Amino acid sequence: MHNLIPFEKSSDILIKYKNTPIELLLEYHNINKPFEIYSAAQLLIGMCMDNRKKLNIPDNFAYILRTGGANLRYSEFKISYAVAVGGVKFIALLGHNNCGMVNLMSKKEKFIKGLIENAGWDQKSAEEHFINFAPMFEIESEINFLVSEAKRLRTRYPKIITAPLFYILEENKIYQIQEE
């Protein structure tokens, strides 16, 4: 089991993220550190597309990719761009509790009905769309997925520091994940 570690003061930072943009992200968002001025992104933040989350960070501080479940598997070219052209050396992978990508299969009927009613799709196309794509995006556990995705990104980008982080919606706070 992975432990969530609160960040309420700078001394709460895990040692591997000390004096990095990961620490700055936590300071800006959780403890309202006064914003500095940035002319270039310091990190890439991969976070869920969920509309209930808004980060408290300065302008120009980060590239941000928003995808369902913070799943960056299909965003590697964008990550590579941020690393190769943008020069970022840190990735914050930010998931959250109550993610809609967890147990996605249980939402099949609602998904299909929504595409038919809201988008004008026919039944067959909506079903095929769900069946073809849901397995690629479903996650079983938010925290376990974040840890496994961080490991995958570390293998793909070995010089990049990748931090799995967890956003608690009710608190509007980001927690560190102590990996096993």
Q: Quick one: average pLDDT of 37-48?
A: 97
159/122 same-domain check: no
Residue 4 in this model has a pLDDT that exceeds 80: yes
Same-domain check for residues 49 and 132: no
Question: What one-letter code names the amino acid at 91?
Answer: I
User: What CA dihedral angle connects 26, 32, 36 and 42, to 10 degrees?
Assistant: 20
Q: What is the pLDDT of residues 114-150, one digit of tens each?
A: 999 999 999 999 999 999 999 999 998 999 999 999 9
Q: Do 147 and 78 share a domain, yes or no?
A: yes
Same domain for 85 and 157, yes or no, is yes
CB 91 within 8 A of CB 41: no
Do 84 and 165 lie in one domain? The reply is yes
CATH number of the structural domain spanning residue 86: 3.40.1050.10
Average pLDDT, the chain: 96
Instruction: Assess whether 58 and 21 both reside in one domain.
Output: yes
Is the predicted pLDDT of residue 2 greater than 90, yes or no? no
Model confidence at 178: pLDDT above 80: yes
CA 4 to chain centre: 15
- What is the reported pLDDT for 1? 52
56 and 129 inside one domain: no
Q: Are residues 88 and 49 in the same domain?
A: yes
pLDDT range class, residue 157, cuts 50, 70, 90: very high
Which residue range(s) make up the domain with 160? 3-100+140-178
- 111/82 same-domain check: no
The per-residue pLDDT for range 60-96, each reduced to its tens digit, is 999 999 999 999 999 999 999 999 999 999 999 999 9
For the chain, the helix, strand and coil percentages under 3-state DSSP, each to the nearest 5: 40, 20, 35
Decide: residue 29, CB within 10 A, 0-12 exposed, 13-18 middle, 19+ buried.
Answer: buried
The tokens for 51 are: 């509309």
* Number of domain units in the chain: 2
pLDDT at 17: 97
Position 180 confidence tier, pLDDT thresholds 50, 70, 90: confident
| Complete DSSP assignment for 3-24 | EEE--SSGGGS-GGGTTSHHHH
Q: Give Cβ neighbours of residue 29 (< 8 Å, ≥ 6 apart).
A: 55, 56, 57, 173, 174
Could you tell me if 55 and 133 lie in one domain? no
User: Do 69 and 153 fall into the same domain?
Assistant: yes
pLDDT digits (tens, 9 = 90+) for 22-38: 999 999 999 999 999 99
* Mode of pairing for the β-strands spanning 90-96 and 173-178: unpaired
74 and 163 co-located in one domain: yes
